Structure formats: C-alpha cells, structure tokens
Amino acid sequence: MPAETRNSSSPAVPMIKIAIAGAGAITERAHIPAFRSVADAQIVAIQSRTADKAERVARAIWPDDAGRPNVYSDFDEMLARERPDAVGIFTPNYLHCEFTVKALSAGAHVLVEKPMAPTAAAARKMADAAAKAGRVLMVAMQQRYGGIERAIKDAVTSGAIGRPHSIRARLSHGGPESWAPGQKWFTTASQAGGGAMLDLGVHVADLAIWIMGEVDSVSGQVGILAKQIEVEDTGAMIMHFKSGAIGVVEASWSSMPPLSAIEIYGTEGRVMAGYPRQDISILKADGSGAPGFSRDEVMSRFDPRDLLAPFRELAANFVAAIQGRVKPSPDGNDGLRAVEAVEACYLSSRTGTRIKLPLDT
C-alpha cells in the first residue's frame, strides 16, 4: 500500500538522504522524479561510471546550483563520503548484487532496479545481506502500484471471480533500443544476464506470483527470433502454482505496438485487462459486472495518463518502509522469487524439462 499522508500536526520526521547509482534513462525519467515527489526524501548524490553522465543528469534536473546532488564516478567513494540513509541502485544488472551488498553493509537501505539480479543465487545473497543488516531491501517492480494491477489484485483477493485457476500475463515492446538508445548493456549477455524474459518477464512473473501465490514449478522456452543480439528477444513460461492453478507469462522485445495485458479466470468469473491499453473488464460467469469492479469504478481510482504514478507510489512505499510505517513491497524475497522463476524458465528452455522450485542452492 502507498505511504499514508501525514497531517500538519504530525511530528517532523528526519529527511531520508538518498544516493543514486546509475544515471541511465530509467533513473532520469522515472526514479529521480519519483523520489523528488516524496516529501521526506532528499537526493544527495548521483553516481555513474562516467561522472560526465551523472553531471549532465544532475544539471538537467537541478538547473540551479542550490540543492543539486553531488556527482561521483566511484560507488565506494559515494558511500564513504555521503553516508546516505538509502541507496537507489539503477545500474546495469551485473552490478546490482555487488552494489546492494556494499550499500547494506554500509548501513543503507536499498531500492534496486529489476531484475533484482541476473541469477537467483545473487538475488538470494542480496536478500540474506538485507536480513543480516536489518535494512529495507525493495525491488523496483513498480507494476504492483499500477491502477489496473491493483484493481485486479483487489478483485481476486475479494473473491469477485471466485477461486482463480489460471492466469495469462504478457509484457512486450520493441526492445530497449526504442526507449534507451545507446545503452547496449541490455543486449550484452555478460552485463544483462538475460534478455526480454529477465527484463520484462520478471515484471509479469512478479505480478502472477503476487496475485496467484507461490510457484511449484516452471517450464518454458526462450529464443532469438527477430533481432541479432546476444540474449533472447522472446520468451514464454508456464508457471505451475502450489494452489494447482496454471499461469502463462510471455515477454518480448520484438512486439510492436507494445502490449501489457493480463487475463485471469476463476470459478465464478474472469478478469481481462490491457485490450486495449489501460482498459479493464471484470465479469461474473454469467457476463454481468462484478459488483464494485465496473470499468467506471476501477478507472475512477487513478489517472491512466499519469505513467509515473506507479514509480511515485513505489518511492513513497520505500521511504515509508524505512520509517517503519508500512511493509516494503515488493521486498527482497519477492524479487528473489521472480528472478528464480525466470532462471527456471531459462533452465527449462535449455534442458527441455520442467523445473521444480525453489532451485537447488
């Protein structure tokens, strides 16, 4: 849930000093504006492997010298000098584990970009480090805070469609080059760890687990079907849930126009969302509307034009979790489960077998 709003009579709380690692497109366009919207948060530093890039982002967002974050090219130096309360890690995937463990060891809370790590082993190391340090670890799978996704979660939890027994979730677009040109690490296996399934599939895998519950096993296929790159541009997995439900998760970097869609079928109705974008239908088995979940009622809860709203809610939850006011969501264990499902999909694709979860540690 989002952080609650405090009234003017509430006691003042200390400002949360946040340092940011990574100055790519997602940082500049989403995470920095999101943190700047949280009253109790202050961005004190930005680090990038090239200081010029961090400087450019800082000057673009803070044109006046006053209040502009300090700029670093070295992550360790930023931690030592700034001693931040929290760190946002929005770097290429291969740095997530190293930087997260260092930040947690330094006493900072961490919000790390998805995927939490390229492998389940690295993600588990991060979750264990957070537990040992007693610090908040959250993963930037902000779709949990989307208006459509929340309505779906509420409908399923409330029993509006009965017992859910199957889900299909898809997230696809034309690839990272379409929105983050020049960031070639996305398609470099050694830096990304995977392609469309790890980049996009991890989002919908998390949503499927969040809505449907724990996964028992996974089978899947991935492939390079439309691009000349090192990692897969297309993938699909079948998730076998412990409840007995079945799910299909699809991800693609070779699908235009883009599509983000979810279908859930239950014993007493169904959910269909994303056909078209930001539309939703929640019906009972006889075709009548599920009470409390008509399209107008759902769409009145959020502004579908506000694409940054889920990022703001994510940032607000992170700060509120640091303050002890809410539970972090998604936390490190959630991030681990999503990465583990994707890794099982890769393993299944290589071996042609169904993979039991959790993976052998």
Is the pLDDT at 3 greater than 60? The verdict is no
The band of 361, judged by pLDDT with boundaries at 50, 70 and 90, is: low
Q: Tokens at residue 182, please?
A: 């020049």
Q: Is 29 exposed, middle or buried (0-12, 13-18, 19+ CB in 10 A)?
A: middle
Q: Average pLDDT for residues 28-35, to the nearest whole number?
A: 97
> 276-301 pLDDT, tens per residue?
888 999 999 999 999 999 999 999 99
Question: What single letter denotes the amino acid at residue 10?
Answer: S
Per residue in 189-221, pLDDT (tens digit) is 999 999 999 999 999 999 999 999 999 999 999
pLDDT in tens, 53-71: 999 999 999 998 888 999 9
Whole-structure pTM value = 0.94
Q: What is the pLDDT of residues 165-178, one digit of tens each?
A: 999 999 999 999 88
Q: Please report the pLDDT score of residue 182 as a whole number.
A: 81
pLDDT band at 259 (very low <50, low <70, confident <90, very high): very high
Helix residue ranges, H only, 12-117: 25-26, 32-36, 51-61, 75-82, 96-105
**Extended beta strands in the chain, E state:** 16-21, 41-47, 70-72, 86-89, 109-113, 137-140, 164-172, 215-223, 234-241, 246-252, 259-266, 269-273, 280-284, 355-356
Res 183: pLDDT? 86
pLDDT for 4 equals 45
* Domain annotation for the chain: domains and CATH numbers: 16-142 (3.40.50.720), 144-301+330-356 (3.30.360.10)
